[in-house]
Amino acid sequence: MSYLQALIIAMVEGLTEFLPVSSTGHMIITTSLMGIGHDEFTKLFIVVIQLGAIAGVVVYYWKRFINVKDITFYFKLFIGLIPILVFGFLFKHKVDGLLERVDVVAWSLLLGGVFLVFLDKIFKEEKIDSQEKIRWQDALVVGLFQCIALIPGVSRAAATMSGGLYRKFNKAIAAEFSFFLAVPTMFAATVKDLWDSRNGSNLFTLHHIQLLVFGNLVAFFVAILTLRLAMNFIVKYGFKTFGFYRIIVGAAILLMLSLGIPLHLV
Average confidence score pLDDT of the chain: 87
Which tens digits make up the pLDDT trace of 34-67? Answer: 888 677 788 888 888 989 999 999 999 888 888 8
Residue, of 102 and 100, whose pLDDT is higher: 102
Encoded amino acid at 118, one letter? F
The reported pTM is 0.86
DSSP for residue 148? G
Give the residue from 162, 209, 208 showing the smallest Cα distance to 181.
162
Q: Which residues touch 77 (CB under 8 Å, ≥6 apart)?
A: 139, 180, 181, 183, 184
23 near 11, Cβ under 8 Å?
no
**pLDDT at residue 190, as a whole number:** 84
Contacts 24+ apart (CB under 8 A), 256-265: 257/102, 257/103, 257/106, 263/29, 263/32, 263/33, 263/37, 263/102, 264/32, 264/33, 264/34, 264/35, 265/33, 265/34, 265/35
- How sure is the predictor about 200, in pLDDT bands with cuts at 50, 70 and 90? low
CA distances, 163 to each of 71, 169, 179, 184 (Å): 22, 9, 13, 17
Q: Tens of pLDDT along 116-127? A: 999 988 887 788
Cβ-contact 112, 22 below 8 angstroms = yes
Q: Which residue has the higher pLDDT, 257 or 246?
A: 246
pLDDT at 212 > cutoff 90:
yes
Contact between residue 252 and residue 105 where contact means Cβ atoms under 8 Å apart = no
Q: How far apart are CA 184 and CA 80, in angstroms?
A: 9
Domain ranges of the chain: 3-258
The answer on pLDDT for 221 being more than 90 is yes
